[in-house]
Structure 1
Amino acid sequence: MRGISVIAKRVEDWRRRVFPERQLFLRSEGRVRFITITSYVQMGLASAGVALAIWGLTTSYVFLTRDSVLASKERALNALSADYDALNRDYTRLERDVEQRALKLQERQQFLESLIDANEPARRNHNRTVQAEAATENETVTATDRTSAPEMTTGSAETDQARPISYLNSATSHSMTVEPGHTDRREAIVALLRETDQRQRHVASLLHDSVSGELKRIDEAITATRLDTATLFDKWSGAAQAVGGPYMPEAGFPAIFDMEDGSLFQDLFDNWQRREAAGEILQSFPVTEPAADYYISSRFGRRRDPMRRTWTNHPGLDMAGWPGTAILAAAPGRVVHAGWYGPYGNMVELDHDNGFRTRYGHMKRVRVKVGDSVADGQRVGDMGRTGRTTGTHLHFEVWYDGQVRDPLPFLRAAEDVREIQRRYQSADG
């Protein structure tokens, strides 16, 4: 208690010393008044002044530092906005990348589907042919074998062209949806696009093998004529006006995931075009026997001239027969000459398009005129002995790309060529 009283006394002494009681004297109209200001009032006013000063300093500090705080916040907001814009650009770019890949895959899908549709008639016709052949063979088997024959026939009808169809259908129906809760939706979509790409490549590979096999079979069928599909394609007269066929994207088949992943589809399209061209060109092949009844009296190539008895080159095939024997067009075409032609006598020349022409000489009678269109096997004249000849026969020539060819290999290839012709005619129908 003694310590407290000492402190109180010191505070009281400090108050009286710092804030002594003061009086203000006021004089007005000869009268004097005074106002007494106690120490407590002075302390109150001093406290108020100190509080006001502190408030002023605080507000001044806040005002002075506000710009820097606002500037700092603005910089932070700008940084966040820039990050958002960058993320938005990245997302847009990735979204566009996924969309472009999906569009390219869709164009590939349309190409494969149209190619399969274009091959479907030929595939069905081939299946019917195989089934008919299998049924004919089954006529010779035992009763026990006949029981299992339907299963064997069904299996043998499957071709390289049939397998891609069901596989591509499964690829087409494959769901491209992604679960909403997936951690990386874009990654999941890209994975599905890659899966679709692999499916399409597999189908394209099967179709490529099938088309390449067809080209190989055509080459084998005409190998004796010393021609091949590559040579025929160069002279394909239908290349400029051909319409229809599989869908071909305007920009071709650009890469989607790998730099070379479009080459397979481009090769498939090129081979398909070659195969279709070869099928059309084979319609111009002179494989129909040009005489209804004949025997070969002189072959193509080096021989002794029947009149001068000297060695010479014979540019055709002589087919001897009875006078008036029907002379037939070896392929559909257009008559470009009909009448007398020097040593050929009465001669008909047909243009079959795609670089092929045929000549029929020494005829007794010409039954067509220039400009006529003739069908395969149509009668164009009668066998005779006009012109430079020693007897009744047909002088038959085959020309391709301006050069005369041996007709016999064309006639010998007739069976294989006609089989291919029937398949393509069925596909066109």
Structure 2
Amino acid sequence: MRSRLTKNIHTVLERWFPERRLFLRSDSETRFIRLKSETQLIAWIGCTVVVAWTIVATAILLMDSIGAGNFRAQAQRDQMTYEQRLNALSSERDTRAQEAAAAQERFNSALRQISIMQSELLATEEKRRELETGLDVVQSTLRDTMKAREEARAQVATLTEEVDPDAVAAISEEAVGTVDLLANALAETAAERDLIAADAEFAISHAQEVELELRLLQERNDQIFRQLEEAMLVSVEPLDDMFRAAGMNPESMIDQVRRGYSGQGGPLTPIQFSTRGGQPDPDALRANAILSSMDRINLYRIAAEKAPFDIPVKANFRFTSGFGQRWGRLHAGTDFAGPIGTPIYATADGRVVHAGWSSGYGRLIKIQHDFGIETRYAHLSAMNVTVGQRVSRGERIGDMGNSGRSTGPHLHYEVRVGGEPVNPMIYIRAGQDVF
């Protein structure tokens, strides 16, 4: 039964693949190779499989090429979008910087005016005290003179009543001299009274002028204080928003900066005005509030240098991968792509705690900052810092490269708070909204 089936199959194959012989001739003999129908069938199937595989592979390559072209076009569009966004952010940052510089100039000018007005106010206060003292002396002298005049009038009236008209002719030369002396004394007293009264009127009118000057000075001081308070409000609020946007508590951060403050001059000293034991001067309270805002801005400036609000790449670059899940794993930073050798800068003041090779990261720099923040700069081609070195915000620490597990030249930038990775763009965007 099996032999019959084999024969039937061979007969069918003979129709399509008849037996062939391949002759091989040499100088001395001739040989041939017999190609059975089964052999030809196997060869045909093999050739068909190879041709089919070639067609399928060619189609796959063509589809990949078309898809890669679309991907490159999409990547170019994304790059243009990133560059436009970066240019807009740069323009906005420059505008904010100009506004901050103008506000600082206005603040410095107002501070100089406050210093001048404070000196004028102290001089006016001293002059007013002198006038008050002089007026008290004039009033006391005037009271004594009027009292002496009344006593002299009473004495004249008493003498007049005691003199008998019939005995006037018998008044001696001595009595006449006494009366003349009293009359002269009364005339001198009256003249002195008139002079004192004129001095008193002049002092009163001058005191009114001084009071008017003081009122005008107070209005001018009030206007200056309002301008300073507005300038402080405009300067402090964006800084508050910047630190809150970065997830930092401004109050606790300022307390930490104040505890570790080592700058020259120390905190600003409150202004003290003499109140003579009365209630605090409103101007002193307003001035001290402005000084408190100035101190807060100074502490914010110190904190901004210690937190990574700057961007690590200043030259042209493109964002290739952001913070978040990628291929089922957490991508713990942001990638900035650019040519090999692009300068890399520290984003805040800090101390280098690692500068060497790290598996996956390649050449890696770690910088420890205040507030429990650490920044990482990976895949570098060169490193310009050593472990233990202090670096400042904006200082060049290395060059962009392609070391470690990397698909192309780029910087992998991380920000970690308390050891946990956070999105670096939170700090970069917060800093670009202010600086």
Could you tell me the TM-score, scaled by structure 1's length? 0.47
**TM-score relative to the length of structure 2:** 0.46
Q: Which has the higher helix share?
A: 2
